[in-house]
Amino acid sequence: MATTLAATALPLDLRDYEEDLEEALRQPVRDTWDESAKFTGAVQAAAIGAVLVRALHTNLAEFAIGYVFREKIAKRGQTTLAQASKVSGKLAYFSDYDFLIEVNWETWRRLTGPQRVALIDHELCHFARGESDKGDVVKQLLGHDVEEFNAIVSRWGLWKGDLAIFGNHVRNAPQFDLFSLATEGEEEGRD
Ligand SMILES: [Zn+2]
């Protein structure tokens, strides 16, 4: 799978970061999975994430984000490309990370360069910086803007506000058609 970026397939906000992203995409990805490993470091995903935090997700600059590969990730029988979570509880006590992105190694290797960047951009959208009543910084995990069934949109169209807004974004979006992996949609709930 070609993992270079075509200039035409980069959103305007990222045009100045093309070289940085190309460099990130040159980071190695293992070709074989060590059967004894549950997780391995996702160096390439981390490098992409670092560029995206500088370019687009500056609100996350103060947080430590960990990137790991899992051999496969599936939820409710559907392949999931990645999963984002907040580090809390015991894990927060024992690690320095604030957020975690787990990436499906098997599907990652089949994604093009722009798809990989889009996926990490998506996962970073799940993270936010908030403030408590006392003014302390808190890390937040956000859900998707829209969740809906194809069948409902087919029958009822953009029947509620969030869907109507989403429809406007789709109409104004560049038509890159990055995701040709039709059956491997990234699934709900902070995935
Ligand atoms: Zn998601």
Distance 1 CA to ligand 1 centre (A): 23
> What is the band of 176 on the pLDDT scale with cuts at 50, 70, 90?
low
Report the 10 Å Cβ neighbour count for 17.
Answer: 19
How far is residue 76's CA from residue 40's CA, in Å, rounded to a whole number?
A: 24
- Look at residue 187 and tell me whether its pLDDT is greater than 80: no
Distance 14 CA to ligand 1 centre (A): 20
What is the average pLDDT across 89-93? 92
How many CA atoms are closer than 13 Å to the CA of 73, on its beta-carbon side?
22
Distance 154 CA to ligand 1 centre (A): 22
Task: Supply the pLDDT for residue 179.
Answer: 58
Distance 168 CA to ligand 1 centre (A): 19
Distance 153 CA to ligand 1 centre (A): 20
- Look at residue 8 and tell me whether its pLDDT is greater than 80: no
Distance 98 CA to ligand 1 centre (A): 17
Burial of 144 (0-12, 13-18, 19+ CB in 10 A): middle
Q: How far is CA 120 from CA 24, 66, 136, 154, in A?
A: 12, 12, 27, 29
Distance 33 CA to ligand 1 centre (A): 25
Distance 102 CA to ligand 1 centre (A): 12
The tokens of 90 are what? 């015991």
Name the residue with higher pLDDT: 189 or 1.
Answer: 1
Three-point CA angle 63, 68, 72, nearest 5°: 140
Distance 79 CA to ligand 1 centre (A): 13
Task: Supply the pLDDT for residue 4.
Answer: 76
Q: Please, which residues have CB within 8 angstroms of residue 99's CB and are 6 or more apart in sequence?
A: 60, 63, 64, 65, 66, 84, 85, 86, 87, 127, 139, 141
| 3-class secondary-structure state, position 100 | strand
